[in-house]
Amino acid sequence: MRQQTSFIFDLDGTLTDSVYQNVFAWKTALDSENISLAMWRIHRKIGMSGGLMLKTLARETGLEINPDQAKRLSDKHAKAYKDLRGQITALPGAVDLLEALDRDQLKWCIATSGGMETAAINLKALGLDIANVNLITRDDVKYGKPDPDLFLAGARKLAVPIEECLVIGDAIWDMLAARRCKATGIGLLSGGYDTGELERAGALRVYEDPLALLQHLDEVASRP
């Protein structure tokens, strides 16, 4: 029996043009707590879960962020991100790509390190009804990326083996998590990482954005 490819998509920077709004929202939250951190450092951690991102940044910079402060930062980030929702749009080809998968009867889901509140903003930008999308958020799993829990949960939701899934993501954290669960990682440049970084993290192929992936879909997908 021919193996059919299933797709697990990251959200921010993969389907929506929202990475830098995410960075700015974290910068706003950190500034409000008098934590000085360069935006490039924040950008390098986008794609991790928020809690792990804060822990990693604290370790790398010597900052001390206690649990209460981490909760405040997370809440302030969510508010700042919501305030920027008018700037968040679908990336070129994202909607067409998902529609093409539906036409070809290829299963897909979205697995995001964000919570339901931020996911809803991005789904709206894609014109998707949250009630009709196979969606996994950080709220649904114990560990966020680069642990593979989100993608494993996505495969379970699609009722397919993880080895038959392509993980589509824009960050090294997506590729590392895909490698850890033996999924095939496909990288996109639309989140700010370059081709070499994504390939070193495990990407089999790297494309510019969802439109480029759609144009080269036959390179990676097996249809039923």
For residue 21, the SS3 value is helix
Query: Is 71 exposed, middle or buried (CB count within 10 Å of its CB: 0-12, 13-18, 19+)?
Result: exposed
Separation of alpha carbons 174 and 149, rounded Å = 11
Separation of alpha carbons 12 and 118, rounded Å = 9
> Which is the catalytic residue, given 10, 17, 147, 149?
10
Closest to 138 measured CA to CA, from 149, 128, 130: 149
As given in the structure block, the two tokens for residue 45 are 């951690």
Q: Does 83 participate in catalysis according to the annotation?
A: no
Phi-psi region of 57 (alpha: psi -120 to 50; beta: other; left: phi over 0): alpha
**Phi and psi of 46, rounded to 5°?**
-65, 135
**Phi and psi of 3, rounded to 5°?**
-75, 135
Residue 13 amino acid letter: G
90 forms bridges with which residues in the sheet? Answer: 16
Separation of alpha carbons 185 and 178, rounded Å = 6
Separation of alpha carbons 13 and 188, rounded Å = 8
> Which is the catalytic residue, given 12, 17, 147, 209?
12
Q: Does 96 participate in catalysis according to the annotation?
A: no
Catalytic residues: 10, 12
